[in-house]
Amino acid sequence: MVKIVDLFAGIGGIRLGFEMEFNNLECVFSSEIDKHAVITYKTNFECANINGDITKIQESDIPDHDILLAGFPCQPFSQAGKKKGFLDDRGTLFFDIKRILAKKKPKVFLLENVKQLKGHDQGKTLTTILNHLKEIGYTNTQYSVLRARDFGIPQNRERIYIVGFLDDDIDFSFPQALNITTCVENILEDMVESKYTLSDKLWAGHQRRKINNKKNGKGFGYGLFNGQSLYTNTLSARYYKDGSEILIEQEAENPRKLTPREAARLQGFPDSFVIPVSDTQAYKQFGNSVCIPVIQAIAKNIQIVGF
């Protein structure tokens, strides 16, 4: 049995991707601080005894495990945030991962974050992270930026993945693009309630802001897509606010937002994944989660090398 721990677990996207690939997986420890995400996690995973704030948990209290999974908070490095990095309290949560790795020494780990981590502070932040990992024995560590749309999902989502092995002789490589043609139609529901259609006021506001932003050289504004679009913009945790980054065209009507189920599909979650929370929380949760097929592809390559 392969034992994993799931840190900053969210709704369990990384865990789910590994469970889809490994048939002998046991999650021995999960940690998530958001109470709404915990509801979704517990609804979808058996024996999900979720611990809270990882900063208050001693590394000695975490069970021994083979694989550590962690999608640590991305806001300190995100283009949508203030990009403060380690100057942001959330940025220092990486060091909670480090202390657990140093104490428990799992055979392999997978860390996930926004693409901007790679270039943050001219690359110094990522170099600092890699150096800290080397300090505790993970010299066989590599990273790559992978895109959701290269793995059969119609979303232009780019994330950085860091994989490290305790064994220096492990020859791991990141998965290559699958060259699967995608289109937005694949994730759309057949019947959608009218509540997801933008009001005249909200749609007018979106159009006005896009014109003003273009005039001011900002380049930001709503993103409009239809079933034939090859992929959408990146789904973010702020999608619940106005849905501007991904709007779906409708004939003879204002555009509409994605439904929560469509947001789930846009991250590769199966329709069997239960959404037990409000639309607002669902949008936040899927926007903060990971693209499941990308995780599964990484898990497959980890399993292939026989860590």
Amino acid identity for residue 303 in this structure? Q
Structure token pair of residue 196: 């997801």
| List 27, 47, 74, 183, catalytic entry | 74
Q: Give the three-class secondary structure for 112.
A: strand
Q: Where are the alpha helices (DSSP H) in 122-190?
A: 124-135
Q: Where are the alpha helices (H) located in the chain, listed in sequence order? A: 13-21, 35-44, 94-104, 124-135, 200-215, 239-242, 260-265, 279-288, 292-304
Q: Encode burial over 208-234: b for 16+ CB neighbours within 10 A, e otherwise.
A: ebbeeeeeeeeeebbbbbeeebebbbb
Nearest Cα residue to 28 out of 69, 62, 70? 62
Say whether 47 is catalytic. no
- One-letter amino acid at 69 equals L
Name the residues annotated as catalytic.
74
